[in-house]
Structure 1
Amino acid sequence: MAAVTNWTGREANTLRRALRLSVTGFAEHLGAARRTVAKWSSQGEKVQLRADMQAALDTVLARAAPDVLERFEALRRHDTRGALAVATRPPGAVDADTGKDGSGTDSDGDVQRRRFLQGATGTGMAVLPNVTPLLDALVSLPMAREAEPVALPLRQLARGVAAAKAAYQACRYEQVLGGLTILLPTLAPTRSDAEGDQRTRVDAVASDLYHVVGSVLLKVGDRGMALVAAEKSVQAGTASQDPVAMATSARIMTHALMSNGHTRQARSLAEKAAGTLERDTRLMSSDQLAVYGALLLRGAVAAARSDDRDSAQAMIDEATRAAARLGYDGNDRWTGFGATNVLLHQVNVALTLGDAGTAITLARQVPLDKIRLAERKASFFVDVARAYTRWGRYEHALDALRIAYDVAPEELRCRPAVQHIAGDLAALSRGHVRTAVVEFTRRVGILV
C-alpha cells in the first residue's frame, strides 16, 4: 500500500470511513477536537493538516488491520476517480452536482447551465427528458409552442400547483416536470389580469409553484437553478403578504442555500422565519403550526451540516413540541409534518453529524406505516442505506436501496446522492454482495 505523503482533509476522512468510525469516534481515536475532524470531512482537500496531525494519522495508518487498509485503498481509488473527473473537465464546463465550473465559480448564466443539462445524459447524472423546457420556462426563455400563454382562472392555477405538488410527493418527477413547464408561462398573464386581493392570492399560489420547481431541481442535482427558483418563491411570497406563504418560501430557500453550501445562512434563515411566523400568527391554525415545525426541521439539518450539534438539537426539540401540539401526522400545507416526520429528520441529522450508529438506532424506531408520502419514505430508506454503508453493513445498505426503489423508482434514478451511495457500495463491497450491487444498479438504471 502506498503511503500518504501529504494528509489533507480528504485523505483523513477516507481513513475515518475505512475505520468505520463516526466523526466523534475518530476524533477520540486521534485525540483531536471533534470540530477539527468535522472540518476535514466538510472541506476535504482544501484543508492541509498540521504536522502533529500528519504524524498521528501516519501512525494510525501504519497500525491499521489488513481489512482496514484494503478499504482505505478502495475508497482512495473511488475518490480519486471523482477528483479526476473534475480536474479533466473542460474549462467552463458545469459540474452536475454543484452547478459550478472548474474554477469553483458560477458558470456564465442560466443558459449555459441549461445547455449542460441538455447534454448531460451519460455523464453520471440522470436527467429526465423534460428538464430543459422547465429551465427555459423558469428563466423566461422563448419556447416552441403553438400559442402564447394565456391567463388562467385563479382556481385552475391553484389546482394545477396542487397537482404538481402531489405528483412531487409521489415521486412522479417526469409528470411533475411536465406540469410545471405548462404552468410557469401562465403566471405573468394571470398576475397581470388580477387586481387587488386577487393579485396577492395569485402571488401566494406562485410562491408555492416556484417552491415545487426548486424542490424538483434539487432532486435532479441542479442546485444553482434551484436557488433561482427559491428566490422567485421568496419574492412571490413577500408580494402576497401572507405569513404562511412567506414562511413556506423560506423553507425552499433554506434548502437551496444549504444545498449550495451556505449552511450557516440557511440555519439562520430557518430560525428567523420560524420566529417571525410564530410572532405574526401565534400558530393558531394547523397550517401555521405545520410550516413552523417544518422550518425548524430544515434548520436543524442546516445546523448539523455546520457541525452545530447544540443548535440542531434545540430545533429538533422545538419541532417535537410543535408536533405534539399538532397531534397527528399530516400533510398540512404540503409539509408532511408530524411526530414521525420529526423522527425522520432526527435520523438525517444524526447521519449528517457522522453518527451512523445513532442514525440506525433511530431508524429502527420509525413507524413505517405512518410515513404516507412516497417521497419521504424513499428518502428515509436512502438515508438508511447511507448509514449502513458508513457502518460497513453493505448488504443491509443494498436492501435499503431496494426498498427505496420499490417505493419510488424515479427517486433512485434521478438523485445524485443515490449514485454516490451506489458507487461507494460498488467500491467497498466484495464477493456476492458486490455482484448484487452491480446487478441492482444496472437493472434500475443508477449510474455509478
Structure 2
Amino acid sequence: MATVHHWTGLEARALRLALRMSVRSFAGHLGVGIRTISKWEKLLAATEPRQDTQAILDTALARADAAAHLRFETFLSEVGRAIYAEGAGGPLAWEYESWTDDLDRAVVALSRQDFAFADSLIRRWLGRFNLRSGLDDKGLYLFARSTTLLGDLQRDQGAVLGPLSAQHSYASAKSLFGQLGIPRRVAQLDLSLAVVAEMSGKLEIAAQQYESLAVDDRLSRRDRARARLWVGTALSKDGNYSYASRVMLAATREFEDLAEPEDWSVAHQKLALAHRGAGDLAKALHFIGIARSTAATDAPMQRVRLETAHGHILLSDPATRDDGLTTLDKAARLAGQFGLSHQLASIEGIRAMSEGASAPRRR
C-alpha cells in the first residue's frame, strides 16, 4: 500500500486526482482552505504543507481504498517518468520510501528463491534510474543496495562470471559504497566477491580472502565468523580436510555464542562434508544429522544444499549408495524447480564422480 515519507504539493495533487475529487471537495475532505489546495496545485513539488497538514494527508491516504492507492501510485509514477525524461534529476521524495520497500520485499523473495519476483522488484528501480540521473547520496545508496541484491540473485542462479554476472554487480556496488564512504558495506561486498571466487573454482584465492576478512574490523562479528567458516569450505574443497574441520569447528562455536541457529546449522552441514572428504563417514553422518534436524529455514536453497550434502555422504558408502542416488535425485528435482543451476551442476558433478569411482577397473 502506498505511503509518503514527505508530502509536497505534487503528492497532494496526486492524492486529489486518485480520490477523484474537485479542488473544493478535496479542501472540504481535508478541512483546509481552497486557496491552500490551489497553492499546492500551482507550485507542486516547490511547496510543502505544514506539519499538521502533512499528518492530515497521511490519514486521508491511509483511509483511501485499494483502487485509489493504485491510481495514486500511477499518477506519481507518470509524473516521475516525465521529470526523468526532461533530465530534471533523481527520485522524488515519495520514491525513496517505495524504493526501500521494494528492496526489502526483494530480500524476502530471494530468501524463498522467488527469482522472477525479486528480479522485477530490483530492475524496476535500476531501469528507472542510472548513475547519470542526478542521484543524491540517498539515491546512490539505494542504487548500490539494488545492485548488491542483483548480484545475490545472479549468484544464486549460477551466473558467477561475465558482464551480466554476480562478480560484475558486486564490483559495481562495492565501488559505489566506497564512493559513499561506507566501509562496512565495502567489506561485505569483499566477502561476496570471495564467495564468487570460490564458486568459480579459485579455491586458494578464496581461502586467502576469507582469512583476511575473518579478522576485518569493518565486518560484524557474525560476518567475521561466516568468513572463518568459508575459509574451511574452501580448504575442504581443496582437499585440506583436517585443517578445514578445525577452522569450521571454531566458527561453529562462534555461531553458538552469537545465538545464530541458521549459521550454526549450516556450519554442521559443512563440517559433515569435510569429514566425508577425510573418509570419516561416521562423523559425517553425525554432523549432517544435526544439520538436517536443526535447519532454521525451509528455504529451497538450503533444502537443496542439505539433501545434496546428505546424498554425497550416503554415496560414499557402497552399502548406502542407492539411498544416496535417491537423495540426490530429490535434490536435483527441487533445484530444477527453483532454477538453482549452480546446485544442479554440483549434483551432476557428484554423480559423475561417484560413477567414476564405482566403475570396474580394466586390466
Deviation at 1:156, TM superposition (A): 2.9
> What is residue 210 of structure 2 aligned with on the other side?
270
* 1:175-186 → structure 2 map (5 Å cutoff): 175-186=117-128
Instruction: Name the amino acid aligned to 1:394.
Output: R
| 355-364 vs 317-326, which moves further | 355-364
Secondary structure class of the residue paired with 1:171: coil
> What is residue 258 of structure 2 aligned with on the other side?
326
Kindly provide the CA deviation profile for residues 51-95 of structure 1, in whole angstroms up to 9, marking residues without a partner as x.
xxxxxxxxxxxxxxxxxxxxxxxxxxxxxxxxxxxxxxxxxxxxx
Secondary structure class of the residue paired with 2:215: helix
> What is residue 20 of structure 1 aligned with on the other side?
none
Task: Give the Cα–Cα distance (whole angstroms) in 2 for the partners of residues 183 and 394 of structure 1.
Answer: 48
1:168 counterpart = 2:110: yes
Question: Percent identity, aligned pairs only?
Answer: 12
Task: Give the Cα–Cα distance (whole angstroms) in 1 for the partners of residues 348 and 339 of structure 2.
Answer: 8
1:304 counterpart = 2:233: no
Deviation at 1:171, TM superposition (A): 2.4
CA contact (8 A) 2:304 2:332 kept: yes
CA contact (8 A) 1:217 1:223 kept: no
Higher RCO, 1 or 2 (CA under 8 Å, sep at least 6)? Answer: 1
> What is residue 359 of structure 1 aligned with on the other side?
284
CA contact (8 A) 1:351 1:359 kept: yes
* 1:38-49 → structure 2 map (5 Å cutoff): none
Residue from 377, 395, 417 that aligns with 2:346: 417
1:400 counterpart = 2:342: no
> What is residue 295 of structure 2 aligned with on the other side?
370
> What is residue 35 of structure 2 aligned with on the other side?
none
Task: Give the Cα–Cα distance (whole angstroms) in 2 for the partners of residues 407 and 205 of structure 1.
Answer: 29
Kindly provide the CA deviation profile for residues 96-148 of structure 1, in whole angstroms up to 9, marking residues without a partner as x.
xxxxxxxxxxxxxxxxxxxxxxxxxxxxxxxxxxxxxxxxxxxxxxxxxxx97
Instruction: Name the amino acid aligned to 2:311.
Output: A
Instruction: Name the amino acid aligned to 1:300.
Output: G
Kindly provide the CA deviation profile for residues 242-291 of structure 1, in whole angstroms up to 9, marking residues without a partner as x.
343223212221111112222121111122123113xx47xxxxxx2322
> What is residue 78 of structure 1 aligned with on the other side?
none
> What is residue 226 of structure 1 aligned with on the other side?
166
Residue from 187, 204, 212 that aligns with 1:247: 187
> What is residue 389 of structure 1 aligned with on the other side?
315
Task: Give the Cα–Cα distance (whole angstroms) in 2 for the partners of residues 176 and 352 of structure 1.
Answer: 36
Deviation at 1:202, TM superposition (A): 2.9
Question: Residues 387 and 187 from structure 1, CA distance in 2 versus in 1: closer, same or farther, beyond 3 angstroms?
Answer: farther
Instruction: Name the amino acid aligned to 1:231.
Output: A
CA contact (8 A) 1:303 1:309 kept: yes
* 1:119-268 → structure 2 map (5 Å cutoff): 151=91, 153-186=95-128, 188-189=130-131, 192-195=134-137, 198=138, 201-202=141-142, 205-206=145-146, 208-218=148-158, 222-224=160-162, 225-268=165-208
Task: Give the Cα–Cα distance (whole angstroms) in 1 for the partners of residues 134 and 246 of structure 2.
Answer: 44
1:345 counterpart = 2:277: no
Question: Residues 354 and 180 from structure 1, CA distance in 2 versus in 1: closer, same or farther, beyond 3 angstroms?
Answer: farther
Question: Residues 239 and 344 from structure 1, CA distance in 2 versus in 1: closer, same or farther, beyond 3 angstroms?
Answer: farther
Task: Give the Cα–Cα distance (whole angstroms) in 1 for the partners of residues 354 and 236 of structure 2.
Answer: 24
Secondary structure class of the residue paired with 2:214: helix
Residue from 271, 289, 297 that aligns with 2:221: 289
Kindly provide the CA deviation profile for residues 128-178 of structure 1, in whole angstroms up to 9, marking residues without a partner as x.
xxxxxxxxxxxxxxxxxxx97974833333333333332222123343344
RMSD over equivalenced CA pairs, Å: 3.8
Gaps of 5+ in 1: 1-146, 282-287, 330-335, 431-448
TM-score (normalizing by structure 1) = 0.50
Instruction: Name the amino acid aligned to 1:304.
Output: S
Question: Which structure's CA Rg is the greater one?
Answer: 2
Gaps of 5+ in 2: 1-83
Task: Give the Cα–Cα distance (whole angstroms) in 1 for the partners of residues 282 and 313 of structure 2.
Answer: 7
**Number of aligned residues:** 267
Deviation at 1:363, TM superposition (A): 0.7
